[in-house]
Amino acid sequence: MSDPENIETQRPLPVVFGCSRTALTPLERNFFKIANPFGFILFKRNCESPDQVRWLIKELRQAVGREDVPILIDQEGGRVARLQPPHWPQHPPARAFGAMYERDAEWGAEAMQLYARIVAHELWQLGVIINCAPVVDLFIEGASSAIGDRALSRKPAVVAALARVWSETFLANGVLPVIKHFPGHGRIKTDPHHMLPVVEASRAELESEDFIPFELLKDLPIGMNSHAVFMAIDPERAASLSVSVQDVIRGTLGFDGLLLSDDISMKALHGLPDDLAKRALSAGADIVLHCNGNLAEMEAIATALEPMGAESWGRWEYAKSMVNRPEPGYNPRQDNARLDILLGGLAYDVETVA
């Protein structure tokens, strides 16, 4: 763990932590001050109203003494949205934009841009600077609903095109995107929140389909890996814990951005949290995510880790250089009205649209 007397002169620990409630407990506040994690991630349990979220983010910043501490969230749209009505709008799932793009590419790209700008504005207003979206996994019929309508399309080129619009619009409006889940787990048959999935596709299948969107988006600043066993690459370890899979991500796919592990508190992984954190980092992740807000687990992880290394910190500095402050005075009303027109009357079935 970082020495509390030298926190200001050290890089933070390579971990993103969650917290348990809508406000910090005294124990959490004291722990975060000592641990000095890279950043924090918000979940539905942390998001009650705009003013409350802004106050919580202020508390998190004060706890670590860093005004620029990264605040992350999963605000994909559809069923994966931590900000929900009545204080935030209900947005459509990614598959809606893919379905539109497949019918009319110009309208689909415009709708994607409008949506991304609206969401970026919502997050910027709160102080959230990293959104763990877009999902770049393929929509595969018969696969687990863990992905389902979170995927843009079955077609790699469509996924890459829309994820590019989504990500670049985020970057232009103050928010860093995170493409996920390297190297592609649209084929999973079980939900990694509950058990470890296995992808049995051949290396040739993966290279001709699943890998393509990630390779086309390799210049983007942040990515997230997956908790799935890829039998064609490493039949013994989940991707997040596999050096062989990280070699594919960095080598075959050419991604040199900041790589986050998926949440190590998911039930897909078995083992002590501190050991899993060390294994994920040793396998090649720059930063490990631990999201459940369990203080005892976070304390064990913080004790086990050393501050971020120079290479990982350099990737973070590069990521920050890619994002722009949004233009002042933006009002999402016009974008919302246009988006409603584009999406209005769109009938699709996420289980049958290919």
Output phi, psi for 307, to 5 deg.
-55, 160
Assess whether 193 carries a catalytic annotation.
yes
Listing DSSP states for 154-175 in one string gives SSHHHHHHHHHHHHHHHHHTT-
| Element housing 71 (H / E) | strand 71-73
**Which of 30, 34, 132 minimizes the C-alpha distance to 83?**
132
- Cβ-in-10-Å burial (0-12, 13-18, 19+) of 125 comes to middle
Sheet holding 222-225, edge to edge: 176-177, 130-131, 71-73, 37-42, 13-17, 287-290, 258-263, 222-225, 179-182
CA-CA distance, 152 to 133, in Å (whole number)?
A: 11
**Which of 315, 318, 319, 277 minimizes the C-alpha distance to 294?**
277
Measured at the CA of 284, the angle between CA 283 and CA 287, to 5 degrees, comes to: 110
Q: Which amino acid is at 301?
A: I
In sequence order, the 6+-apart residues with CB closer than 8 A to the CB of 132 are: 41, 72, 73, 74, 75, 76, 178, 180, 224, 260
In sequence order, the 6+-apart residues with CB closer than 8 A to the CB of 301 are: 15, 273, 274, 277, 288, 290
Marked catalytic residue, from 137, 149, 262, 286: 262
Assess whether 286 carries a catalytic annotation.
no
226 close to 240: Cβ distance less than 8 angstroms: yes
Marked catalytic residue, from 3, 51, 104, 193: 193
285 close to 225: Cβ distance less than 8 angstroms: yes
CA-CA distance, 291 to 37, in Å (whole number)?
A: 12
Residues serving a catalytic function are: 193, 262
